[in-house]
Amino acid sequence: MRRGQNLAGWLFTAPAILGLGVFLLAPIILALWVSFRDWSALAPLGTSTPVGVKNYHDLLVRSGIVQTDFARSLRNNLYYVLGVVPAQTALALLLAVIVNAKLLRGKTFFRTAFYFPSVTSSIAVAFIFIFLFSPNGVINAVLSALLPGTVDTVWLNEADGVLHIIAGWLGIESGPSGGNIMGLSAWDWLSGPSIALTAVMILAVWTTTGTFMLMFLAGLQNIPEELDEAALIDGANARQRFFRVTLPMLRPTLVLVITLGLIGTWQVFDQIYAMTSGGPQKTTLTPSYLIYREGFENSAMGRAAAIAFILFVVILIFTALQRLVLRERD
């Protein structure tokens, strides 16, 4: 009897296990294997040669152009994550609170409007942003109308880092030399996102906020109204009710949104591919785009696979950090 149940259980889960195995587990194991080989991907896998940890060594330890490019991609993506995740989380929460308000008229309209960018194809949105940010695009037209003189900035061609620009206003033109980490000087690490990358970040916030707003909305509607009322009777003002009651109750949703945000932002590819191809001056190069460039344009699939695994570890670390920060304290 027990035995029969076991067998039935395995049989019922077999299709799913088979599917996951073939399409998820096998590729991951294979990619891990490829990351320890030199493979051009222009001939069958059998022609590849084992190179030990060389691919990882080139990316992380040996100074050279491979390491510098990888360091640049990590720096760019780090600023991207630090900018996009807080912005999209805060904005999504704000929008969710607004469309959840009891007194708001036309709730359905706003919910649809805020969610709309999320269901639009990311490539289509990317092209619209190219037009918006082009020298004779809407952004410059609006700025020209608001500011004295004409603004003809080529936004997607601006490689100067935002923090460098701010430092420039304060009269700091270059940092102390040295402090070289992975081929980039401390000054280069502290550049901040370039103007071009900032445009991509705005795009990312705009397209993802809707989805996360829905999650927050679901979280908000799960909070029993009695709690809010009880706080009200206890004399808490609106601000206290939000930060002391609503926000703590939203913690699970917050964890989910930030986790998904971290994973999504560390893997940014399609917007970069459509808008900037890693330029200007490599300031929008990200690990995911580098995987594509190395694997499909530079015929170094082994190195591309190694980048994928390092990226995987980076995402794990960031998710663990985030869990540590947001853990229940008591």
Partner 1 sequence: MGTHKWLFAASAILLIGAPACGGGDQNQGPQTLQMYAFSSSPAEDAALNAAIAAYNKLGRHTVNLSLLPEYDTALQTALAGGQPPDVFYVNDNKLPDLARAGALEPIGDRMDNSADFHESLVKSFTFDGVNYCPPKDFSTLQLVYNPDEFAAAGVQPPTTWQELATAAEKLTRPGRPGLAMNPEFYRWGVFLAQAGAWPTNDDFTAMTMDTPEMRQALQYVADLHRKGHAATPAAVGTGWGGEALGKGKAAMTIEGNWIVGAMKTDFPNVKYAVAELPSGPKGKGTMAFSVCYGVAKASSKRDAAIDFVKFMTQPEQQLAFTKDFPVMPSRRSLSDEWLSGKTELKPFVDGAAYARKSVFVPGFRTVIDTLNDGIQGLAAGNRTVDQVISTTQPAGKDVLGK
Per-residue contact string for residues 105-134; x = within reach of partner 1 by CB under 8 A:
-----------------------------x
| Contacting residues for 315 by C-beta, under 8 A, at least 6 apart | 262, 263, 266, 267
Instruction: Report the residue number, 12 or 169, with the smaller CB distance to partner 1.
Output: 169
Count of CB atoms situated within 10 Å of the CB of 224: 9
Query: Is there binding between residue 65 and partner 1 (CB under 8 A)?
Result: yes
Query: Is there binding between residue 135 and partner 1 (CB under 8 A)?
Result: yes
Q: Least CB distance from residue 322 to partner 1, whole Å?
A: 18
For residue 130, what are its two tokens?
């190219």
Instruction: Report the residue number, 81 or 305, with the smaller CB distance to partner 1.
Output: 305
Residues 26-55 that bind partner 1 (CB under 8 A): 26-28, 30-31, 34, 40-47
Phi-psi category of 3—alpha, beta or left, where left has phi over 0 and alpha has psi -120 to 50? alpha
3-state helix, strand, coil in the chain (%, to 5): 70, 0, 25
Q: Please write down the long-range contacts of 124-130, taking CB distance under 8 Å and 24 or more positions apart.
A: 125/203, 125/206, 125/207, 125/271, 126/203, 126/270, 126/271, 126/274, 126/275, 127/274, 129/199, 129/200, 129/202, 129/203, 129/275, 130/156, 130/274, 130/275
Instruction: Report the residue number, 96 or 305, with the smaller CB distance to partner 1.
Output: 305
Which member of 73, 76, 100, 288 binds partner 1 (CB under 8 A)?
288
Which member of 113, 152, 230, 316 binds partner 1 (CB under 8 A)?
152
Which member of 225, 226, 234, 297 binds partner 1 (CB under 8 A)?
297
Q: Rounded to whole angstroms, how far apart are CA atoms 175 and 216?
A: 42
- Binding region for partner 1 (CB under 8 A) out of 81-89, 107-115, 155-163, 251-259: 155-163
List residues near partner 1 by CB under 8 A: 22-24, 26-28, 30-31, 34, 40-47, 64-66, 68-69, 134-137, 152, 154, 156-160, 264, 267-269, 278-282, 288, 291-293, 295-301, 304-305, 308, 311-312
